[in-house]
């Protein structure tokens, strides 16, 4: 692990599936953003075009902002907020069927790369698992794009809604969901593949215990009973993991069916 930088303030990165940014803004998102003390915030499922946003969301005070919308109205979408502007920003994977859904931002902050991704749900229109092949293809394309960076020792974080619970410990009712998209063997194996390649699940490096979730059904009482799934992650490459000093889940924060997650990094991660 690299020595801690002389700069005392940690570099905090947040990820949050807001399930509609305009809706979240009426449920405390703006107040959360003002008090979050993060340096970078990645949002997923924004479900809005930039021109539809109020100025306070399009360009929040004290933040640089970028939004990527899906071609389909009211669907998908990601947003990136940063205290200090990124050096580069890429919003395409080079595959039209993925790019039209507005699912990724790849930003560089000095030596650190932050990938904000909204990974597809595998459920089809008929509430079957018909979109699982599309979902897995998206996973593999993101992996392929990032592999040269990771393999070269790059400091990379991949954050967002992965729409998959990795282990039985990551959902309240694993047995009942073995045939449900989000906990299928082939979906879990894809996360296994990332881990085998060297990506670290930052949260699990600090918290091995059960009962920690990031998404809950909106059915009455489910969240209160903590019957949830942990499907939001920050994965770190080997080059970045040495700078990670903590990771957590803000389960108490409402405003969406997901809650925010975070990682703290030594600020030296940005430097040469």
Assess whether pLDDT exceeds 80 at residue 85. yes
Q: Give phi and psi for 64, each to the nearest 5.
A: -90, 140
* Least confident interval from 78-82, 125-129, 160-164: 125-129
230-261: pLDDT as tens digits = 999 999 999 999 999 999 999 999 999 999 99
Q: How confident is the model at residue 2 (pLDDT cuts 50, 70, 90)?
A: low
Assess whether pLDDT exceeds 90 at residue 105. yes
pLDDT on residue 8? 64
**Are 208 and 192 contacting, i.e. CB atoms less than 8 angstroms apart?**
no
Q: Which helix or strand (DSSP H or E) is residue 110 part of?
A: none
3-state SS class at 134: helix
| The model's pTM | 0.96
Among the listed residues 66, 99, 161, 266, the single catalytic one is 161
21-35: pLDDT as tens digits = 999 999 999 999 999
Assess whether pLDDT exceeds 90 at residue 91. yes
Give the start-to-end residue ranges of the domains of the chain. Answer: 11-270
User: Residue 161 catalytic?
Assistant: yes
Assess whether pLDDT exceeds 90 at residue 269. yes
Fold topology of 11-270: Deoxyribonuclease I; Chain A (3.60.10)
46-58: pLDDT as tens digits = 999 999 999 999 9
Q: Which helix or strand (DSSP H or E) is residue 162 part of?
A: none
Overall average pLDDT of the 139-165 stretch: 98
Q: How confident is the model at residue 5 (pLDDT cuts 50, 70, 90)?
A: low
Assess whether pLDDT exceeds 90 at residue 127. no
The number of angstroms, rounded, from the C-alpha of 229 to the middle of its chain's C-alpha atoms is: 14
Q: How confident is the model at residue 126 (pLDDT cuts 50, 70, 90)?
A: confident
Q: How far is Cα 141 from Cα 18, in angstroms, rounded to an integer?
A: 24
pLDDT on residue 125? 78
Q: Which long-range contacts (CB under 8 A, 24 or more apart) does 87-95 make?
A: 91/66, 93/141, 93/142, 93/145, 94/145, 95/141
- Region for residue 224 given its phi and psi (left: phi exceeds 0; alpha: psi -120 to 50; beta: otherwise): alpha
């Amino acid at each position: 692990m690299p020595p801690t930088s002389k700069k005392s303030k940690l570099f905090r990165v947040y990820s949050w599936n807001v399930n509609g940014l305009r809706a979240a803004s009426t449920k405390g998102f703006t107040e959360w953003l003002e008090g979050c003390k993060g340096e970078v915030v990645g949002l997923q499922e924004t479900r809005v075009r930039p021109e539809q946003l109020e100025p306070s969301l399009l360009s929040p005070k004290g933040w640089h902002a970028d939004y990527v919308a899906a071609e389909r109205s009211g669907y998908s979408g990601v947003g990136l907020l940063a205290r200090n502007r990124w050096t580069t920003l890429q919003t395409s994977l080079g595959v039209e069927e993925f790019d039209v859904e507005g699912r990724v931002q790849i930003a560089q902050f000095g030596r650190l790369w932050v990938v904000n991704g909204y990974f597809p749900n595998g459920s089809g229109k008929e509430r079957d698992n018909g979109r699982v092949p599309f979902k897995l293809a998206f996973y593999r394309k993101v992996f392929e794009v990032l592999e040269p960076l990771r393999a070269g020792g790059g400091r990379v974080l991949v954050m967002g809604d992965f729409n998959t619970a990795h282990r039985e410990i990551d959902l309240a009712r694993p047995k009942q969901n073995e045939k449900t998209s989000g906990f299928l063997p082939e979906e879990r194996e894809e996360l296994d593949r990332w881990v085998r390649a060297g990506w670290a699940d930052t949260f699990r490096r600090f918290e091995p215990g059960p009962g920690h979730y990031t998404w809950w059904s909106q059915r009455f009482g489910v969240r209160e009973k903590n019957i949830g799934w942990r499907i939001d992650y920050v994965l770190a490459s080997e080059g970045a993991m040495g700078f990670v000093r903590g990771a957590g889940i803000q389960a108490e924060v409402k405003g969406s069916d997901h809650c925010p997650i975070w990682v703290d990094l030594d600020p030296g991660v940005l430097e040469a």
